[in-house]
Amino acid sequence: MQPIMSAQAINDFLETDFPQIHTDGRVFTVTSVRPGGLTMTFDPNERHLRPGGTVSGPSMFALADVAAYAAILAHIGPVALAVTTNLNINFLRLPQPSLMSCDCRLLKLGKRLAVVDALLHQGDPDHPVAQATATYSIPPRTE
């Protein structure tokens, strides 16, 4: 599974084609792409925080979903529009109100379905703050 888009190309594509992910600020950035996966960082601002100084659940859901979507994009190119059909997320530890990384790995990249594992952590992947598994339906590609 070789990626066919660079981190920069994915960030540019998200910028132009999915500006809505930047509604609450330019917080999501693909920092590295590798065969079968990528890492996206999330730099939360006050809109993503909760009293007690933690990061909101919907923000972490959004991070897992956008990062997994980007991981698929990186490997099939910006042609097809994948749609999230299922996302299962485990909240493991209370996050700090600071930078969060999401390491994604393609478990399957089929013609019709892709399944991605997403590990959310704040520096130590052995003590993740959340873990998600997401499934995307990939529409038939017209030639």
Tokens of 80: 């097809």
Please check whether residue 133 is in contact with residue 113, taking contact to mean a CB–CB distance below 8 angstroms.
no
Stretch that binds a second copy, among 4-12, 70-78, 96-104, 105-113 (CB under 8 A): 105-113
Q: Which of 118, 106, 115, 108 has the alpha carbon at shortest distance from 135?
A: 115
Binding letters toward a second copy, positions 16-45, x by CB under 8 A: ----x--x------------x---------
Residue 127's Cα: distance from chain center in Å?
18
Binding flag, residue 95, a second copy (CB under 8 A): no
Q: Which of 25, 43, 32 has the alpha carbon at shortest distance from 10?
A: 32
Binding flag, residue 51, a second copy (CB under 8 A): yes
Binding flag, residue 143, a second copy (CB under 8 A): no
DSSP state of 122: S
Residues that bind a second copy (CB under 8 A): 1, 20, 23, 36, 47, 50-51, 56-59, 61-62, 65, 83-93, 107-108, 112-113, 115, 117, 126, 128, 131, 133, 135, 137
